[in-house]
Amino acid sequence: MSRSLSDCILKSSLGFAALLSGSVIVAVIAFLFHEAWPALSSGKLSHFLTDLKWQPGSDRDPQYGIAPMILASILVTLLASLIAIPLGVGGAIFQQFYAPTFLGNIHDRLLELLAGIPSVIFGFWGLTVLVPAINKWHPPGQSLLAAALVLALMILPTVGLTSRSAIRSLDPGLLQGAAALGIGRPSMILRVILPAAFQGIGSGCLLAIARAVGETLAVVMVCGNIAQIPHSVFDPVRPITSTIALEMGYASSDHRALLYASGLILVVMTGALVGWQSFRREPLTPSQKG
């Protein structure tokens, strides 16, 4: 077979693969719109933002307030990131600059293992170990804090591994230059390494945050699922994903359309993160500028 023919076949099959993966997400969003349309068009959307409670199954007083759930999704993600990002970035720096090679390798393997653990395992661990422990401290245990801790564990490998590769891929000349100038290790890390790797670490963090927004299975087990505005980290909350997981299989008509509409909100939130990431991507990395 001629070289150009095989190239042509390869090109078209690769193009097909790319087209398929790209069009699937468009199809999914179109499906979400289609299913959510009854809620979007009927004016139910105003209920969405103005109702204070979420009680779609009530015969006496059905309410469809989603604001507490949007807030819960944001709070859980924010708190989890505040825990996971310092741990992940700190671990990556330690692993690259301080740890002996064998310890660094163990650290790497453990993070990779953590990344591979299914979320249902994290959920059961949270429910049977973490929640009772928090309950002793401040009942009921199922809480914003429990959800954030479990999520932090789940996104920690993403933050840690991407930070590590961001630091590792820095121009070695940068480190040699710093060393030649006689800069000590602490200020080299703070003033040279972190600013230079900021772009890569930031991308990893955004990836982790996007995952945290969408994580469902583990969160639904430990967050308590009460749709309310929390007054402390010990209050139960209900992120959007939990609502969809708990109620989608059981909902019909308006309720169902509203769940799809809340799914759309989730996609918009993740979309905003992705958009922000591509916006902040600069043409030159700091190391090239220097």
Q: Would you tell me which residues interact with other proteins (CB under 8 A)?
A: 1, 6, 9-10, 13, 53, 55-61, 63, 124, 127-128, 131-132, 135, 139-142, 220-221, 224-226, 236, 238, 245-247, 249-252, 255
CB 155 within 8 A of CB 84: yes
First and final C-alpha spacing in the chain:
50
What's the CA gap between 191 and 189, in Å, rounded? Answer: 6
Measured from the CB atom, the residue of 95 and 225 that comes closer to other proteins is 225
What's the CA gap between 33 and 27, in Å, rounded? Answer: 10
What's the CA gap between 73 and 146, in Å, rounded? Answer: 14
175 CB burial (10 A radius; 0-12, 13-18, 19+):
middle
Measured from the CB atom, the residue of 178 and 222 that comes closer to other proteins is 222
Measured from the CB atom, the residue of 252 and 278 that comes closer to other proteins is 252
**Cβ 135 to other proteins shortest distance, Å:** 5
Residue-level length of the chain: 290
- CB-based contacts of 246: which residues, under 8 Å, 6+ apart? 220, 225
- Beta-strand (E) ranges in 30-170? 54-55, 63-64
Measured from the CB atom, the residue of 160 and 236 that comes closer to other proteins is 236
**Cβ 200 to other proteins shortest distance, Å:** 33
Measured from the CB atom, the residue of 89 and 251 that comes closer to other proteins is 251
**Cβ 61 to other proteins shortest distance, Å:** 5
Q: 10 Å Cβ neighbour count for 97?
A: 15
**Cβ 6 to other proteins shortest distance, Å:** 6
**Cβ 225 to other proteins shortest distance, Å:** 4
CB 148 within 8 A of CB 79: yes
Measured from the CB atom, the residue of 234 and 285 that comes closer to other proteins is 234
